[in-house]
């Protein structure tokens, strides 16, 4: 029976060590889970910031594209107007009218009277 009692003592002694080992493993696992949670949180924060930054950049570029498109449309309209002016300047009747209005040119024997403008600031 002495063998059994030594065996029992060894088992009882090892049970305390087993409990300590289990507690140690439980602490390690808790720390690992906590570290994994923090790492996951950090990754999510970095991804969120990156996505937010990219969205802001996208909005800025989209706005710039809209402004450039407006500039292109305005330039095309100006180009069309200038082409029409060039065409009109080749017409002698239009050219004569333009010179008479802009430079106050008159035909021989014609009298020009300057009338006040319909500007409300002209009366002051």
According to the model, what pLDDT value does residue 123 have?
55
What's the CA gap between 69 and 60, in Å, rounded?
14
Dist. CA 82–CA 84, nearest whole Å: 5
In the chain, where the domains are located: 2-105
Neighbours of 115 (CB within 10 A): 5
Mean pLDDT of successive 10-residue stretches along the chain, which has 124 residues: 68 78 93 97 97 97 97 97 92 87 82 74 56
Q: What local confidence, expressed as pLDDT, does residue 1 receive?
A: 46
Please report which helix (H) or strand (E) contains residue 44, including its range: helix 2-89
Q: What is the pTM of this model?
A: 0.52
Measure the CA–CA gap between 12 and 90, rounded to whole angstroms.
116
**pLDDT of amino acid 40:** 98
Through-space distance between the first and last CA atoms of the chain, rounded to whole angstroms: 130
Cβ burial 88-102 (10 Å sphere, 16+ → b, else e): eeeeeeeeeeeeeee
CB 112 within 8 A of CB 106: yes
């Amino acid at each position: 029976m002495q063998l059994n009692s030594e065996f029992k003592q060894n088992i009882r002694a090892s049970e305390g060590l087993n409990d300590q080992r289990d507690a140690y493993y439980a602490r390690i696992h808790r720390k690992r889970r906590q570290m994994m949670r923090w790492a996951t949180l950090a990754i999510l924060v970095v991804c969120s910031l990156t996505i937010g930054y990219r969205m802001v950049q996208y909005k800025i570029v989209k706005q710039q594209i809209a402004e450039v498109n407006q500039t292109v449309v305005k330039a095309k309209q100006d180009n069309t107007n200038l082409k029409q002016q060039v065409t009109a300047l080749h017409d002698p009747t239009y050219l004569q009218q333009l010179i008479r209005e802009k430079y106050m040119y008159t035909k021989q024997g014609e009298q020009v009277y300057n009338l006040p403008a319909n500007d409300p600031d002209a009366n002051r």
